[in-house]
C-alpha cells in the first residue's frame, strides 16, 4: 500500500521567516494531497490541498508544490506567525479509494 514519509519531525523558524515541510509518497496512483494542522489538544483541521493535475497551489501565506516525477510534495508557510505553531500532517490519497495515508507529522515552532 501507499507509504507517506514526512521528513522533518520538528522545525523551528523565526517569526516572519518561511517554513518548509517536505513529504514523499510511494504510490504513483495517488492523486490528491491534503495538508492538515493540529493544535494542542485538538483534532486535525484541513489547511490546503493539491491535486495531481497541477504542480503549485497557493492560498494566502500557504503554498503547496507537487513534483509527481519525484513523488514529492511540500508545504511552504511564508511570513510565519506564532499562531502557525502546530503539528502539520501531509497525506496522500488515490481518488478511487477511501483511505488517506498520513505522514507522521511535523511539529512547527515559530519563535517570536
Nearer to another protein, 15 or 39 (CB): 39
**Is residue 27 a contact point for another protein (CB under 8 A)?**
no
* Distance of closest approach, residue 4 Cβ to another protein, in angstroms: 7
Rg (CA), the chain: 13
**Is residue 74 a contact point for another protein (CB under 8 A)?**
no
Residues 6+ apart with CB under 8 A from 87: 37, 38, 105, 106, 107, 108
For 39, 98, 105, the CA distances from 54, given in Å and listed in that order, are 29, 22, 24
Nearer to another protein, 18 or 58 (CB): 58
**Is residue 25 a contact point for another protein (CB under 8 A)?**
no
Residues that bind another protein (CB under 8 A): 1, 4, 6, 9, 32, 34, 36, 41-46, 49, 89, 91, 93, 95, 98-105
Amino acid at each position: 500500500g501507499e507509504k507517506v514519509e514526512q521528513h522533518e519531525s520538528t522545525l523551528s523558524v523565526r517569526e516572519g521567516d518561511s517554513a518548509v515541510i517536505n513529504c514523499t509518497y510511494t504510490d504513483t496512483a495517488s492523486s490528491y494531497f491534503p495538508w492538515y494542522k493540529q493544535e494542542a489538544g485538538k483534532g486535525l483541521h484541513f489547511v490546503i490541498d493539491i491535486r495531481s493535475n497541477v504542480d503549485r497551489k497557493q492560498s494566502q501565506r500557504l503554498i503547496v508544490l507537487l513534483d509527481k516525477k519525484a513523488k514529492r510534495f511540500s508545504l511552504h508557510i511564508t511570513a510565519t506567525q506564532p499562531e502557525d505553531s502546530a503539528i502539520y500532517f501531509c497525506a496522500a490519497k488515490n481518488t478511487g479509494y477511501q483511505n488517506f495515508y498520513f505522514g507522521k507529522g511535523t511539529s512547527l515552532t515559530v519563535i517570536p
